[in-house]
Amino acid sequence: MTEYVMLHLADEQVPPDAERLIAEGLERVKGINWFDFVASDYQVVYTVLAALQRGRFCEWGSGMGVVTGLAAMLGYDAYGVEFHEPLVERSKALLRDFKLSCRVELGDYLEREDQADLYFAYCWPNRVMQLEEHFHKVAPRGSRLLVYYGRNDVRCLPKQ
């Protein structure tokens, strides 16, 4: 059985540079015709990431790259993996425009063996089991998977 652990959120406001990244990412995604793109609540994700120890960060299904960018702003060694090429190209441009030193790669994260300390995903409910299985298969011991389930619901699965 999968056991998630409770997370403690950082007690801080999202800084203006992060708010600008969030706003710009949401604006730019409007021009993409991708039927199932749904954005996370980026402010909530920021407070979760701000409360955790920094390290290697991998966003599985990185969309516009906003979470990857927020992780980079917080000092993580961050990168994202996205399946939809137009999102990859636009996220690269967004991150470049904000002068963030992180990357987004084209690919299917379920076919990759990315090594990170912290993974983040906002996947469809019917794919969560597959996501968890992949995490347990490829992630190093001691890493954590953050799964965004919805507004104010980010869960953490540690790998023992």
Q: Any idea what the Cα angle at residue 135 is, between residues 130 and 129, rounded to 5°?
A: 25
The string of pLDDT tens digits covering residues 80-99 is: 999 989 889 999 999 999 99
Q: Which amino acid is at 142?
A: G
List per-residue pLDDT tens for the chain, 160 residues long: 467 777 777 677 899 999 999 999 989 888 776 656 667 789 999 999 999 999 999 999 999 999 999 999 999 999 999 998 988 999 999 999 999 999 999 999 999 999 999 999 987 777 889 999 999 999 999 999 999 887 778 889 999 8
Pairing of strands 153-158, 144-150: antiparallel
Where are the domains positioned within the chain?
16-29+39-158
Question: In terms of CATH architecture, what is 16-29+39-158?
Answer: 3-Layer(aba) Sandwich (3.40)
Identify the H or E element spanning 44.
Answer: helix 42-51
Cβ atoms of 120 and 57 within 8 Å: the answer is: yes
Query: What is residue 2's predicted lDDT score, i.e. its pLDDT?
Result: 64
Angle between helical axes of 16-29 and 42-51 (0-180°, round to 10): 140
- Beta strands (DSSP E) in 8-152 are 56-60, 77-82, 103-106, 118-121, 144-150
Query: What is residue 16's predicted lDDT score, i.e. its pLDDT?
Result: 97
Cβ atoms of 2 and 132 within 8 Å: the answer is: yes
H/E/C letters for each residue in 53-80? CCCEEEEECCCCCHHHHHHHHCCCEEEE
Question: Which candidate, 108, 110, 105, places its Cα nearest to that of 136?
Answer: 110
Can you tell me the distance from the alpha carbon of 56 to that of 119, in angstroms, rounded to the nearest whole number?
A: 9
CA distance readout (Å), 96 to 42, 60, 125, 130: 19, 20, 32, 32
Global pTM value: 0.92
